[in-house]
Structure 1
Amino acid sequence: MPVSAQMGPLRRANQLTQLLDLTKGLDRYPVDVEQLAREYSRATAADDPIQDIVTEPLKGFEGALVPLRADPGGWLIVSNVLATPGRRRFTVAHEFAHWVLHRHLLPPEGIYCSEEDVSRRNGEDIEKEADTFAAALLMPLHDLRRQIDPRAKPTLADLGALADRYGVSLMAATLRWLEITERRSLMVVSTEGYALWARSSDPAFKSGRFIRTSGPPHEIPAAAGAMRPDLSSECRAGITHPPGVWFDEEVEEFTVHAITFEKVITVLHLGDARPLWRTVEEEHEPDVIDRFRL
């Protein structure tokens, strides 16, 4: 039976988190995911371990888990040398997840993961499972809650501190925070005045606050800080917009213009509101602290 059929990605990541907490202590971040992948795979599957982890220039994909045919066999993890260190760390964790959860399900050539699968947390099926595992392993729920209260309204500086602590990109840290926050908030990634993709927190989504990017191009509002690189300092510090700019309600915007990557990263905070609908509940994320209370 495949590993993923026996235990979901959150519980597998949580098991490793408990192991790391016990052996390395609670202030052990960022996770040395390459060392973990090598040592864990050799300890649990000595005849089929991860033999090496390399970075190479990649075109068309961000990372891969590839079987090694020559003796002694095993697997190779590849990440994109052109990516930032934070993105590479998440990619390695993503490919490690494929080894833990899916290696018995993969085709003979292994699996090659695109930027959308990894960086945007927007994959399907086993790619979604690998993203879920990687985020929970690198940014565990119990530690994330200690850094930022789920009811707090973080600034870009707060989210940047999360990224530094966990050794991941600002986008990865913000996506993870959006999964646990009780606030109505969104992240929008844009370029040249149009949204590339966006993600809402669960409370924001349930109140109807989301941005569709799968259809026609979504134009960024002209009055938004995301359209004003000349106001980069003000955008980082936070700008409050009246109703009618982003949505028909007041919105607080924090934006960083990542000129090097030709992308604009925007975090939007909204006020309280009642949900318009309920969503289907997915697998509950176990908290290490909750597990110890059982």
Structure 2
Amino acid sequence: MGTLEYNSYLFLGVFDIYAVSLNRCFEAEKKREERERHPINLREVHPLEEVPIMDVPVDTKDRDEILESEFFDTRQAFLSLCQGNHYQYDTLRRAKHSSMMVLYHLHNPTAPAFVTTCNICHLDIETGQGWRCEVCPDYDVCNACYQKDGGIDHPHKLTNHPSIADRDAQNKEARQMRVLQVLYSRYLSILRKMLDLLVHASQCRSPHCQYPNCRKVKGLFRHGIQCKTRASGGCVLCKKMWYLLQLHARACKESECHVPRCRDLKEHLRRLQQQSDSRRRAAVMEMMRQRAAEVAGNAG
């Protein structure tokens, strides 16, 4: 559900509550004595009439496209945007300007969010047309001041601002990294749920268990016992089950685990680890022997 659609539903809900409240007040007003009716303490009485509203929109579907911007993902990001650009809402004039600029950033996510000013001439620096100090956190100069005959009297090295293309590439790479992080976190969440389900299904004895997908995992257990093809023969279901069992065995710390083949897989992984350690120690010993031989040869 989009933001506009949610707000529309919220508005209709508030409108319904408001309408019910009005109906109650209207009924209460009619039950009052005539001298106490609206307006009170005045000679004339204003009659109240019930006017039904017929043009309330029913279709609240949001037809606007979804706009994404990193500055509206969290409250802290939006606060940083407002603080960095001095967007304020303490007066109506500032609120109008701040709202306009916030909408600009929402519809132009690749545009520079923060405007830098030259520390010498105090003018705004366009994107890619300035130089920034590598040490000082807030020292920028424009190209005009940088190219003056006298040069820049600054003790640290200055680097050129990234161009619009470079900034867009950096923003694109940052967005891709955020997408990958979200996908990876979802993958880990699903994997944890699958491993928890595996442990539950291995211990569950109820034929009508309400745990989600418990019966499916039990069916995979039965398939693994009865299958003649096996994972080595190319059975897809057996390969999936072996993958989950191996992941569980790598993370399991229980000595008396009820998951099938957990103990065998732990022993197999332990032997593989021992073989890897032995090969690594042998490689280190061989490297030390070769170095000792080289030292002895150079000394002779």
**TM-score normalised by the chain length of structure 2:** 0.20
When you count helix as a share of all residues, which structure comes out higher? 2
**TM-score normalised by the chain length of structure 1:** 0.20
Higher normalized contact order (CA 8 Å, seq sep 6+, divided by chain length): 1
